[in-house]
Amino acid sequence: MESQIQLKQLSTSFCPDLISEGDGAKVRRYIGTHQNPSLDPFLMLDLGCSKLPVGFPDHPHRGFETVSYLLKGSFCHEDFTGRKGELHPGDVQWMTAGRGIVHSEMPMSFDEEASGFQLWVNLNKANKMCAPRYQEIKSAEIPVYKDDTMSAKVIAGEVFGVKGPIEAVTPTYYIDFNMQKNAEYEHVIPRDWNCMVIVHKGALIVQGNGKELTYGHCSVFKLNELQEEKVNIKSLRDDTGFILLAGKPLREPIAWKGPFVMNTKAEIDQAFKDYFEGVNGFEGSRTWKSQNRNLKYGRSSSV
């Protein structure tokens, strides 16, 4: 019975400082720093804000997935295969880089800030060189669970029978909750899954410990390999928003340098060689330049 399921133990809670990323964008980094070095299968998680002229111009990836979830503003995306798209509030882009992607991600306004999350999800050895894939889901297409006190936008995973549309290579929960004041919710986390909660609006407490978490704060929970456990959230303000992120660890060696994440140093060296030579998944990358790079100069992205 669910009432017998124990609460997960907290590992740490913190609010990361703002750091620079990309071409001058400011982000708070929740995974991949001294405060939370790793959370297998997740490599990195940022909550960022940016407006032109800063952004994330042309750069490659190999060996993992990137997940972009926009909270406000607008972002445009373009890759070296000619694929283009835009993200608006509530939209998600789940990109499997696999053997190779070169792309550009830029805000679309000099006046309005775009803000949102970017998550890096590791791929297992068998899928690191898979074909690239996009899952682009508009906000209106993402299923939402609602009751009188809360709503849950289910990007990946499940809440009360509502399942997210994302087909994740690595088993993952990615859910955006919105709760009214004094609302309380418990979510059962499978055994042997890592889990964290990140507040992007309002205030809440986790596991009844009395410590108030506000915008920018997160809580990371201890892994339990033996049994499922639950996370308890109580909202302290109306319109409190938070992300529940959980995933099954891969427990594989990680070799990581810059935009490439593989299992060995030799594979990292090969990734750089392939990229600079424009082969093995990076064909055409050496001569490609994004059109949306022109946005930072106030020119049309079609120039």
List residues forming the annotated binding site for Fe cation: 59, 61, 103, 105
The label of the residue with tokens 């001569």 reads: 287
Residues 6+ apart with CB under 8 A from 53: 23, 24, 110, 295, 296, 297
Please say whether the beta carbons of 254 and 42 come within 8 A: no
Q: How far is CA 60 from the centre of its chain?
A: 17
* Look-up of token digits 């060996």: 63
Q: Do the beta carbons of residue 38 and residue 235 sit within 8 Å?
A: no
**Feature table: binding site:** 59, 61, 103, 105
The tokens for 125 are: 């050895």
Q: Give 284: exposed, middle or buried? Use CB within 10 Å, 0-12, 13-18, 19+.
A: exposed
Q: Token pair 């995306």 is at which residue?
A: 77
